[in-house]
Amino acid sequence: MRAGTDAVVFGYGPWLLSNAWHAAEELQRSAGASIRVVNLPWLNRVDAGWLKQTIDESRTVITLDNHYVHGGQGEMVAAAIAELGLTPPVRVSRIGVNQLPECGTNDEVLAYHRLDVPGLVEQFRRVLAHSIPQIA
């Protein structure tokens, strides 16, 4: 969905991918971060060859789940990355719901769980600060 070299963000679904794309655009404008946004094409598996090619030279991966991160697709992607045995290793950060889901409109729920654009900008910035100190 979006090219980038500093990090790769894997997500799915129209709301989360749209918010990730806009957050990546904001970080490009405000901090010069180059974030690739990828629509995860599978619900229950990850093709190792595709994953390795998609990560390419990036050593920072962010996964997005619009539900609990425990048991989510982020865990599946992180496990598949670990099995690739890449050197240097890839740092994987999982973003999603970490507590009892809030009720409300889509916008209210996404904002509450920091999955809206401002919340993702903040979370992406924090992850990227480990690999690109000037982004902090």
pLDDT at 78: 94
pLDDT by residue, tens only, the chain of 136 residues: 999 999 999 999 888 999 999 999 999 999 999 999 999 877 788 999 999 999 988 999 999 998 889 988 999 999 999 999 998 889 999 999 988 888 999 899 999 999 999 999 999 999 999 877 777 6
Q: Amino acid identity of 124? A: F
Is residue 2, in this structure, part of any structural domain at all? no
pLDDT at 42: 77
Is residue 106, in this structure, part of any structural domain at all? yes
Residue 33's CATH number: 3.40.50.920
pLDDT at 136: 60
Find, among 70, 58, 46, 52, the residue nearest to 3 by Cα. 58
pLDDT at 57: 86
Is residue 65, in this structure, part of any structural domain at all? yes
pTM over 0.75? The answer is yes
Is residue 41, in this structure, part of any structural domain at all? yes
Strands (E), the chain: 7-11, 35-39, 60-68, 91-97
Rounded to whole angstroms, the Cα distance separating 112 from 107 reads 9
pLDDT at 67: 87
Structural domain boundaries, residue 79: 7-135
Is residue 1, in this structure, part of any structural domain at all? no
Cα–Cα separations (whole angstroms), residue 4 to 44, 45, 77, 92, 112:
25, 24, 19, 16, 28
Is residue 67, in this structure, part of any structural domain at all? yes
- Taking phi first (over 0 means left), then psi (-120 to 50 degrees means alpha), and beta for anything else, what does residue 11 get? beta
Count of the separate structural domains present in the chain: 1
